[in-house]
Structure 1
């Protein structure tokens, strides 16, 4: 019925997120979020083993705009597996993963945090439910709770950007639309 990847959708990733299900030992996970604003902040916590079985590790601001550039999150998964926790936690990011990733690792969350996606509204302790059987990913918050959090949200400030990288971050679209820097109405001539 399905290949090795599935798209998850729900109130946490309304435009979708990708999960590699090939080789997964379990297809469902529910647990409290531990939220990080960058891969580096997450790596420090993982190295010190300051997370628990059942957690959903959330790394945001690593998408096309927030990174900018959508870095691969393989370092975090390698550390988690190296500590024997690979099948005991889940990982959610608006960044990306390679084909080498294994376990409950969800990437390409859309819309990303830097573009105002719900992943940017998650707080430590929020309960996240992932169900690969039904293709859903949800945070246990009502529409009103998410709406209230959105009122207090502001986009992250990325300092030190200039030139082409600044233009890229300002103009890039979301991962589910190809992370391109045009609006999609451009007709490109084929090169001979």
Structure 2
């Protein structure tokens, strides 16, 4: 196992001592070590529930004989960062995410990686890290939010942006915009619509690094939890077979993803 670099042999006694400080048993130290990159935070609607997703992933990993170890990853909400100096930080966050996941994966010699993501720059950052480290890896997203309903019409975050212009042109009152902003994003999850988040999570599926349903099962559905458990089970299969991203992803995979994106 790759993780034997930090667990096995006479010279790794100090390493084992540190693992035991975390509560690890000797039996656990014989099992594959699976890094779980958790981009949970309390700022991004698509990430507020990711702790629940991570716990389901861990259950799947343990079921198949692995030891999950979770670490944190930053995440920016492009919607909240928009229209002020915060937008200067969105794209650079992608590089920091990729660098952070690479650092944790290499420093701790994980046998496999599960990348728990959702929104705009986080999924690309996770994908970049996955291909850099090239160990058995899989992505699971938190899933899309529901669209809202305003006066019998489906609405989403874009409807609120458009509402600003409508108020300025007297097509909508400020009170109506207030009502709209309160119902346009009715659940947690990545913003409803084929924006970067949902597009990238669909493409992760199409390119072959996420399970079917990753891009489309709503965040609030129990099916999302079941998918997370299956993702945990799947990473153990990938580790056992040593199926790394560069073994799985081909030119045809990218062509498939491009076709899905164009569709």
Instruction: Return the structure number with greater strand share.
Output: 1
More helix as a share of residues: 2
Rg: which structure is higher?
2
Instruction: Provide TM-score, normalisation by structure 2.
Output: 0.25
Q: TM-score, normalised by structure 1?
A: 0.31
Q: Which has the higher contact order (CA 8 A, sep 6+)?
A: 1
